[in-house]
Amino acid sequence: MIPIKYSDIIAAQQAMRNVIKETSLTHSKTFSRMAETEVYLKLENLQTTGSFKVRGAFNKLLSLSEEQKQRPIIAASAGNHAQGVAYSASYLGLKSTIFMPTFTPPAKVNATKGYGADVILTGTSFDDAFAASQEYLEEHNGTYIHPFNDPKIIAGQGVVGIEIFRRLPETDTVIVPIGGGGLISGIAIALKEINPNIKIIGVEAEGAASMLASQKSDSVLALNQCHTIADGIAVKKPGDLTFNIVKELVDDIVTVSDKELAHSTYLLIQRGKLLAEPSGTAALAAAIFKKSPLMGQCVVPIISGGNVNLNLFQQIIDQGMMQEGLKAHIQFIVLDQAGELKRVLSILEDETINIAHIIHERSFTSVPVGKVLIEVTVNLQRKEQLEIIKEKLYQEGITCSVIS
C-alpha cells in the first residue's frame, strides 16, 4: 500500500503556495517537430534554487516538530537537493549541514553555502556522501532530510503533477527523469488519481539505471558504479518506498545515453533559449530521440533542473556546434616557410570564418621534417562553409582533414 495519498499532495501545495513557484508549462514548436508529437516543457529549471528539489525539501521541513527543528538538519546530495534543503532551512530559520561528493561542481557547492548551509565534501558519489551523512547523523542526533525516500518529500514533488494537469488537462503522457525516484513517485500519485489514463514514463541515464535494474529484478538493487554526465540522477540505489510506487504506478522506464543527454542540453539552449543541466534534460532527450511511442500525443517532459556545471557545459556547447556543423577542427600540413600560414588564413578570411583557436607546431614526430602542422578551430556561419573551405584549400594544393 502506498503511504502517500493525493490529499497529502494537495496539503503540500497549500502549505508551500506562498514560497514555491508554480513554474511555466511552455509549448515548443521546435521540439514538437523533432519528437513528432505535441511537446510542452514543464520548466522546473526556473524553480527557486534552480530545480524541483526545493518542493520536497520545503514540505519536509515544514512538517518537522519543534523538537526535530532544534536538532541539526542533515542531508546528502549531489547538488540540487542540497540547495533545496539549504534554502528551505534558512527560510525557516534553521541551520543545515549538507554532505556532497568531492567532485560536485563548484557552482553547486557555492550555491549551497550561499543559501546558508555548512557543506562537507566527501567520497566520489552521492552514495558515499549519503553514508557519511548517516554516520554524522548518529553522532549528532540530527534530523535527516532524505532526498527521495520520504513521504513528505514525495508529496512535495507531487505538486508538479497537479500543476501540469491544471494547466493542460488534455495531457496524455508525462516524462520524468529518475534518480532516486522521488519526483516520478509524487507526479505518478497525483496524476493517476486525477486521470488514470495519463501515462507516466521514467527516464534514467544509461550509466545509472538503478531503478530500471531494480524493477526488472523485482527487488531494490544497488549498482556497482554510476557513470554519467547527469550527476543529478546518478543514484546507485533507489529507495524502497519509491521502488514500490514506481512498480505500481509508472507505465514504463527508458534510458538515454550521455551523448543524447548532451545534445538535448545543447538543443534546449540553442533552440529553446533555456539553460538546463544534463539530468534536467533527460525527459526531453527521451522525447526527441523517441525512446517511447509518443506520436500524436500531448506530451510533457519535465525539465527538472538548471544548475549547470559550467566546465561541462562548455564542452557540451562545443560538441553540439560540431554536430550541427557550426564548429570544426581542421588540420593540415604545409611547407615550413614564410607565407604558408598567411595563405591558409586568407582562405578562411575570404569566407568570413571566425577562428576560435590555432596551433602552429613543427616538433611532433608525426610532422615531416621541413613541414609544419597547422590546426585551427573555426566557428562557421553555416555548415556548407566547411566543404567550401576544403575545396578552396585543395585548389591551393593544401590537403586538410577534419578532426571530430
CATH number for position 90: 3.40.50.1100
Residues 156 and 292 in one domain: yes
pLDDT digits (tens, 9 = 90+) for 45-54: 999 999 999 9
Which residues are CB-neighbours of 369 under 8 A, at least 6 positions away?
A: none
pLDDT surpassing 80 at residue 366: no
* φ, ψ for residue 324, nearest 5 deg: -90, 5
> Alpha-carbon torsion 293, 294, 296, 297, what sign?
positive
Q: Which residue has the cell 527516464?
A: 203
Residues 136 and 60 in one domain: yes
Pick the last residue of a domain from 144, 168, 198: 144
Residues 159 and 224 in one domain: yes
Least confident of 202-216, 283-297, 302-316: 302-316
Dihedral-angle region of residue 22 (phi above 0 means left; psi in -120 to 50 means alpha; beta otherwise) = beta
Q: Are 36 and 299 in contact (CB under 8 A)?
A: no
Residues 358 and 334 in one domain: yes
Residue 155: pLDDT band with limits 50, 70, 90: very high
pLDDT of residue 79: 83
Give the pTM. Answer: 0.91
Sequence letter at residue 34 = M
Instruction: Express as a percent the part of the chain with pLDDT over 70.
Output: 100
Mean pLDDT value of segment 280-309: 96
Say if 1 falls within a structural domain: no
Cα–Cα dist 242/368, whole Å: 61
pLDDT of residue 348: 83
Residue 404: pLDDT band with limits 50, 70, 90: low
Laid out side by side, the sheet with 96-100 consists of 118-121, 96-100, 73-76, 143-144
Q: Based on the structure, what is the number of domains in the chain? A: 3
pLDDT surpassing 70 at residue 287: yes
Residues for the chain: how many in total? Answer: 404
pLDDT of residue 387: 85
- Which stretches within 104-222 are classed as H helix? 106-114, 126-140, 151-167, 182-194, 210-217
Residue 361: pLDDT band with limits 50, 70, 90: confident
Mean pLDDT value of segment 288-292: 97
Residues 114 and 237 in one domain: no
Choice between 193 and 125, residue whose per-residue pLDDT is larger: 193
Domain holding 274, by residue range, is 6-53+151-319
Residues 63 and 174 in one domain: no
Task: Retrieve residue 74's grid coordinates.
Answer: 542533515
Tell me 47's DSSP state.
Answer: S
pLDDT surpassing 90 at residue 170: yes
Average pLDDT, the chain: 93
Least confident of 26-35, 124-133, 150-159: 124-133
Mean pLDDT value of segment 232-248: 95
Which residues are CB-neighbours of 98 under 8 A, at least 6 positions away?
A: 74, 75, 76, 77, 82, 85, 86, 112, 117, 118, 119, 120
Mean pLDDT value of segment 171-196: 98
Pick the last residue of a domain from 319, 347, 369: 319
Residues 157 and 301 in one domain: yes
Instruction: Express as a percent the part of the chain with pLDDT over 90.
Output: 70
Q: Are 301 and 42 in contact (CB under 8 A)?
A: yes
Which residues are CB-neighbours of 123 under 8 A, at least 6 positions away?
A: 101, 102, 129, 131, 132
Mean pLDDT value of segment 129-145: 94
Question: Rounded to the nearest 10 degrees, how much is the dihedral formed by the CA atoms of 206, 211, 216, 222?
Answer: 90
Choice between 324 and 66, residue whose per-residue pLDDT is larger: 66
Cα–Cα dist 275/319, whole Å: 16
pLDDT surpassing 80 at residue 194: yes
Choice between 91 and 308, residue whose per-residue pLDDT is larger: 91
Cα–Cα dist 5/249, whole Å: 13
| CA-closest candidate to residue 281, choices 302, 258, 312, 250 | 302
Residues 262 and 342 in one domain: no
Pick the last residue of a domain from 144, 169, 187: 144
Residue 402: pLDDT band with limits 50, 70, 90: confident
Residues 272 and 379 in one domain: no
